[in-house]
Amino acid sequence: MSQSVRYRILLFGALAVAAIAFLLPTFAQTPSWWPWQQPIRLGLDLRGGTHLLYAVDIDQAIANAVERQRQDLERELRDAQVGTITIERDQLTIRVRMGNRDKRTQVAELIRRRFPNLRLTEGAGPEGPDLSLNLEPREFARMRESVVEQALKIIRNRIDQFGVAEPTIQKQGSSQIVVQLPGIQDPQRAKELIGRTAQLEFRLVANQPGPSVEELPGKGESGGRSGYLVGKRALLTGDSIVNASVRPAGGIEGMAVDFQFDARGAQVFGDVTKANIGRQLAIVLDNHVESAPVIRDAITGGRGQITGNFDITGAQDLANVLRHGALPAPLKLIEERTVGPSLGRDSIRSGSLSFIVGSALVWVFMAIYYRGGGLITDLGLLLNVLLLLGA
């Protein structure tokens, strides 16, 4: 036997042993020392699981983006000290009213320089706004295209943390997302995790009602209060959060979620807490006040905490969605199917039986008709199937 043939036999033998090592956990219980413990993963059609179809509210995503632009513009103009100014949003239009109209040119120049994605038009009439702003058409089209892709990425990150093996998450049409979760027969937690907007905001608690104040439901903190009067303007949002983790809150408060801001968020948070010592700062999650602690001192370290009697699962899910970002828009569940595993078991059983019977007939025919050459071909076919399954 030549050295070349010997090397080939050794190579194929090693590959066959490796394939058997990979395949054995699929067909038998392996001991703990076995080098590979992962069986072949089955898809939704064979293993059963959950099929979800979501529609992304693109119009709401664009409205949210315009609102963030409005908040940034309000902060920029306030820092520029251009006098009394009111900035409101009407659908997708931002309207600016100034107390000192002599500053109109200065304000318009600042907007053109700092907000190039907004198209500026002069107001009409003494009673109307001084300036009106709309998204540039190119920016509007870009946002419509990117919203679904952003939602896809966030959902994929959330599902990865959920621990589902080989999920299917893909775009369907222009504004729909398909999610298939093999092996998940109770989809409730998955739906809550996927569909949670997790829009985190920090707002000041108000002392009395007013035009810039609204009431949001709470969780019964602070002496049993079920609702809070908070400012409509968000001082900071969860877009500035770069990390979130879970730890015990201490006492009987369950678990807490610690979060960390980026550099800009840390600076804004420090300025807000420094300017409002003694007031309550509401931590608002999806339009519910999770907690409203009193600001005792300026918080300049760029870190904070959310408490709310979370259990470990709820705290981990919240940290997950905060860590990977809020969805750009709400998702609407338009189709849900739970596929049972029984049909998959029947398919596997039928496929295995047909493979065994068909292969046996082929091998017997080859061995009888071609004799030695047929046996060699049978061995090659068996090795081919083994390597394919092992791969």
| Interior angle at CA 239, CA 234 and CA 245, nearest 5 | 110
Quick one: which of 114, 131, 109 has its CA closest to 122? Answer: 131
Q: Please enumerate, as own/partner, the contacts of 22-31 that have beta carbons within 8 Å and a separation of 24 or more.
A: 22/390, 23/386, 23/389, 23/390
Fold type of domain 198-326? Gyrase A; domain 2 (3.30.1360)
Q: Are 289 and 228 in contact (CB under 8 A)?
A: yes
This prediction has a pTM of: 0.58
Q: Which three-class secondary structure state does DSSP give residue 89? A: strand
State mean pLDDT over 381-389.
87
Q: CA 46, CA 347: separation in Å to the nearest integer?
A: 7
Sign of the C-alpha dihedral computed for residues 38, 44, 50 and 53 taken in this order: positive
84 versus 96: the higher-pLDDT residue is: 96
* Phi and psi torsions of 386, nearest 5°: -60, -45
Q: CA 390, CA 18: separation in Å to the nearest integer?
A: 8
Would you say residue 191 has pLDDT above 90?
A: no
> Of 165-169, 186-190, 370-374, which gets the smallest average pLDDT?
186-190
Neighbours of 303 (CB within 10 A): 13
State mean pLDDT over 10-16.
89
**What are the residue boundaries of the structural domains of the chain, listed by start?**
3-48+340-390, 60-139, 198-326
Structure tokens at 320: 């997950």
Q: What is the CA radius of gyration of the chain?
A: 30
Sign of the C-alpha dihedral computed for residues 205, 208, 214 and 220 taken in this order: positive
State mean pLDDT over 267-292.
87
Residue type (1 letter), 237 = T
pLDDT at position 176:
92
Structure tokens at 361: 């007939």
Class level of CATH domain 60-139: alpha beta
State mean pLDDT over 53-70.
86
Banded model confidence at residue 221, pLDDT cuts 50, 70, 90 = very low
CA 162 to each of CA 38, 82, 269, 310: distance values in angstroms, whole numbers, following the listed order: 18, 49, 31, 18
Q: CA 345, CA 46: separation in Å to the nearest integer?
A: 7
Residue type (1 letter), 81 = Q
CA 187 to each of CA 16, 190, 327: distance values in angstroms, whole numbers, following the listed order: 39, 5, 19
pLDDT at position 206:
92
Banded model confidence at residue 222, pLDDT cuts 50, 70, 90 = very low
Q: CA 56, CA 292: separation in Å to the nearest integer?
A: 31
pLDDT at position 339:
73
Q: Are 98 and 136 in contact (CB under 8 A)?
A: no
For residue range 347-376, list pLDDT tens digits in order. 777 888 888 898 889 889 988 988 888 888
The 200-204 sheet, strands edge to edge: 236-237, 200-204, 281-285, 288-291
